[in-house]
């Protein structure tokens, strides 16, 4: 019986060692994941920025004054005079 | 003690042992003291120092929210730009790189060096602010010691001058300075947070330790403004102001049923993307901040008081002969002798004498009360910064003469927004809403006048836009219009000048008003100055466009389409309102003080 007296101690020692390594591993893993998260956040911000820029660009192209210039100048469109408008009875 | 053959000289072995033990003891003691000192006594300081080497508190930036119109079109968007800054101390140690830097920045090298030397004691100096990211990247690529970049946000207004007065603008730090940017600054800017992180040797964040301050995300703002109507209003107001050589102008379009402002424009304008090129006077939102004596557009409120008093009905006769009225030694004029009118045609013809005679039968406190109920003499509650309350003197100061002049719109001052709000109440069955710039932000409204009186007023105001009335040019094809013209002298230096304010306020469609439009043109110097000829056509153009854009069904169709399916032919109909005949001068109105 006394021959295996060291066993519990050894097991506990091994467990402590394993948990220590696991802690280190988890810590490392968390840092890696955090790095990935940071990258993704950065990407999200970049995409938001680009979206804002595209929104601005779209708004600039669709600006009513520009639409009017194109419609009247390039496409030769006109406001129909009142006497050319007929109402369809509902 | 047995003698030893080879006993060494000097201290005995025991003594040496003691000495070694003592030294070891001292050393251990020293270590223990040191350990206690480090671990216990100086722990706080050391920990701080250690953490200072890798723990960093970094701000979590929050970019300013965007502003959209009621259909989701962007009106103001912040996009990131880079600002280049330098640490002069570090940079001046590498003075040989200065010419290269100056070239990249596009400034004179000697000047740059001089300005850096002047600020050598500081550690932060802006070299150039708000560069496009690509341009900033080029400068950073030079890799000059002491030169850094910092991200900032710049506001862009894709609509430019068209919505400038309503939106206002921000300063270089993206903080609201005027207009809605200022009114809603707190919601738009949010609050930047801060977090503590661990950084590695290369400055990368490796671990998020804790949140020092939760960031408050900025909110986007959806306005009640419709960009398309805003543009129409802007274009037509600019045209009218130029055509008539006017000093300034304002135009407000409001939803009668909710109090939502659909368009608000002013002249002169400015470009909000380049604030520095404009004068403060150009940036004022005159529709809200500037007051005017409104003139005849106040007559409907006199008539409302008269109807409410029970002494008058729309058909009660009013004798305006001979076109003048002497009161307290002062003479009130009409543009001509309108003869025998009734209450309705006092509005149709815009008779000052008629309005004065009606007011003489009413009590000052009643007239004051009705004007107050319609929102005059108080800010509208729109929340717009710098909004004016106008001037409405208390009734105990009203003489008979003042009561008469107030009945046709002199001696009180109002803003264009107040007029829009009050007329909207007339068109909304007597329910007054607080104007709002936010989509869906309208309140429940307060009933300020009997719905029947409101309806009678609309019917009476419809006669103004007819061949007999003062505002034939306010007519809109296929829609009926109820409105009132106003032509008032601008007060100056204690008297009245020969300069005018030309006003038209109209409701459309007349049968069931949806929109109220206020057109104000100040000091027109070319052509006419009458409200019926300057402001009324402006009203008609803008409102016609707005009704079409909002899909409001027409209520006064001139010509029903009954054509065969083979049709492609122009339809002939007498849609347009006839112009004034050469001998017709109905549009003439206004006081002759």
Read off the pLDDT of residues B124-158 as tens digits, 9 standing for 90 and up: 888 888 888 888 888 888 888 778 888 888 889 99
Contacts 24+ apart (CB under 8 A), B437-440: B437/B166, B437/B180, B437/B183, B437/B223, B437/B224, B437/B225, B437/B260, B437/B261, B437/B382, B437/B383, B437/B384, B438/B221, B438/B222, B438/B223, B438/B224, B438/B260, B439/B70, B439/B222, B439/B223, B439/B224, B439/B260, B440/B224, B440/B260
CA distance B78 to chain A (A): 7
> What mean pLDDT do residues B285-293 have?
92
Answer for the pair B334, B323: CB distance below 8 angstroms, yes or no.
Answer: yes
Whether residue B295 has pLDDT greater than 60: yes
CB-nearest partner of A89 from B159, B560, B572: B560
Answer for the pair A59, B225: CB distance below 8 angstroms, yes or no.
Answer: no
Whether residue B97 has pLDDT greater than 60: yes
Question: What is the β-pairing status of strands B340-342 and B317-319?
Answer: antiparallel
Kind plus residue range of the DSSP H or E element containing B188: helix B185-189
Q: Is B557 on the interface with A (CB under 8 A)?
A: yes
Whether residue B570 has pLDDT greater than 60: no
Question: What does the pLDDT read at residue B13?
Answer: 86
Q: Count the neighbouring beta carbons within 10 Å of the beta carbon of residue B209.
A: 13
Interchain CB distance below 8 Å, B159 and A53: no
Rg (CA), chain B: 38
Q: Where are the strands (E) in chain A, listed by range? A: 87-88
Question: What does the pLDDT read at residue A83?
Answer: 74
CA distances from B415 to B271, B387, B390, B501 (A): 24, 9, 6, 12
Interchain CB distance below 8 Å, A88 and B563: no
Q: Count the neighbouring beta carbons within 10 Å of the beta carbon of residue B438.
A: 18
Task: Name the residue with higher pLDDT: B501 or A86.
Answer: B501
Answer for the pair B217, B190: CB distance below 8 angstroms, yes or no.
Answer: yes
B180-224 pLDDT, tens digit each: 999 999 999 888 888 888 877 666 677 777 778 888 888 999 999
CB-nearest partner of A56 from B77, B558, B560: B77
Whether residue B52 has pLDDT greater than 80: no
Task: Give the separation between CA B395 and CA B548, rounded to whole angstroms.
Answer: 43
Question: What does the pLDDT read at residue B387?
Answer: 93
Whether residue B31 has pLDDT greater than 90: yes
pTM score of the predicted model:
0.82
Mean pLDDT of all residues belonging to chain B: 86
Residue with tokens 């900032």: B152
Task: Give the separation between CA B407 and CA B248, rounded to whole angstroms.
Answer: 26
- Three-class SS of residue B195? strand
By C-alpha distance, the chain B residue nearest A82 is B575
The CA-CA-CA angle for residues B33, B35, B37, to 5°, reads 65
Question: What does the pLDDT read at residue B202?
Answer: 67
């Amino acid at each position: 019986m006394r021959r295996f007296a060291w066993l519990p101690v050894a097991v506990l020692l091994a467990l402590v060692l394993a948990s220590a390594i696991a802690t280190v591993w988890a810590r490392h893993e968390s840092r890696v994941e955090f790095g990935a998260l940071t990258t993704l956040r950065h990407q999200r911000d970049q995409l938001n920025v680009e979206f804002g820029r595209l929104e601005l660009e779209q708004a600039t192209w669709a600006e009513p004054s520009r639409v009017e210039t194109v419609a009247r100048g390039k496409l030769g469109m006109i406001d129909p005079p009142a006497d050319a408008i007929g109402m369809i009875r509902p | 003690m047995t003698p030893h053959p080879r006993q060494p000289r000097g201290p005995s072995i025991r003594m040496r042992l003691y000495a070694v033990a003592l030294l070891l003891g001292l050393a251990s003691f020293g270590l223990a003291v040191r350990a206690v000192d480090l671990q216990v006594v100086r722990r706080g300081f050391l920990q701080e120092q250690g953490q200072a080497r890798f723990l960093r508190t970094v701000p979590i930036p929050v970019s300013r929210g965007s502003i959209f119109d009621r259909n989701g079109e962007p009106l103001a968007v912040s996009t990131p730009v880079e600002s280049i800054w330098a640490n002069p101390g570090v940079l001046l140690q590498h003075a040989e790189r200065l010419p290269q830097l100056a070239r990249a920045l596009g400034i004179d090298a000697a000047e740059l060096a001089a300005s850096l030397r002047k600020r050598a004691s500081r550690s932060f100096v802006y070299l150039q602010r708000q560069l496009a990211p690509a341009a900033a990247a080029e400068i950073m690529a030079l890799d000059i010691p002491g030169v850094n970049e910092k991200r900032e946000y710049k506001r862009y207004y894709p609509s430019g001058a068209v919505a400038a007065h309503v939106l206002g603008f921000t300063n270089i730090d993206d903080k609201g300075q005027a207009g809605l940017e200022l009114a809603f600054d707190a919601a738009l800017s949010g609050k930047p947070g801060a977090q503590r992180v661990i950084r590695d040797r290369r400055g990368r964040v490796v671990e998020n330790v804790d949140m020092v301050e939760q960031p408050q995300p900025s909110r986007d703002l959806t306005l009640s403004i419709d960009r398309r109507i805003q543009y129409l209003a802007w274009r037509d107001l600019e045209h009218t102001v130029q055509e008539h050589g006017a000093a300034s102008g304002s135009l407000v379009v409001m939803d009668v049923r909710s109090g939502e402002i659909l368009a608000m424009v002013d002249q002169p304008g400015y470009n909000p993307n380049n604030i520095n090129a404009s004068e403060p006077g150009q940036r004022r939102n005159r529709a809200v901040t500037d007051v005017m004596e409104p003139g005849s557009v106040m007559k409907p409120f006199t008539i409302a008081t008269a109807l409410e008093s029970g002494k008058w009905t729309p058909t009660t006769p009013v004798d305006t002969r001979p076109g003048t009225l002497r009161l307290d030694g002062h003479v009130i004029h009409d543009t001509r002798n309108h003869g025998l009118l009734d209450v309705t045609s006092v509005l149709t013809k815009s008779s000052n004498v008629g309005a004065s005679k009606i007011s003489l039968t009413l009590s000052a406190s009643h007239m004051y009360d009705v004007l107050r109920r319609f929102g005059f003499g108080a800010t509208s509650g729109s929340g717009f910064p710098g909004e004016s309350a106008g001037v409405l003197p208390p009734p105990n100061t009203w003489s008979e003469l003042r009561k008469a002049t107030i009945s046709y719109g002199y001696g009180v001052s109002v803003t264009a927004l107040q007029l829009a709000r009050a007329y909207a109440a007339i068109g909304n069955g007597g329910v007054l809403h607080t104007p709002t710039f936010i989509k869906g932000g309208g309140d429940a409204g307060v009933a300020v006048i009997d719905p029947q009186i409101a309806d009678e007023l609309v019917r009476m105001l419809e006669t103004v836009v007819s061949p007999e009335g003062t505002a034939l040019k306010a007519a809109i094809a296929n829609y009926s219009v109820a409105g009132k013209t106003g032509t008032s002298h601008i007060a100056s230096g204690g008297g009245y000048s020969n300069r005018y304010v030309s006003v038209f306020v109209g409701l459309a469609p007349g049968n069931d008003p949806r929109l109220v439009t206020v057109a104000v043109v100040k000091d027109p110097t070319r052509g006419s100055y009458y409200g019926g000829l300057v402001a009324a056509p402006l009203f008609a153009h803008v409102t016609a466009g707005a009704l079409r854009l909002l899909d409001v069904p027409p209520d006064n169709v001139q010509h029903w389409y009954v054509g065969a399916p083979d049709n492609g032919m122009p339809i002939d109909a007498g849609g347009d309102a006839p112009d004034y005949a050469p001998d017709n001068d109905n549009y003439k109105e206004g006081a002759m003080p």
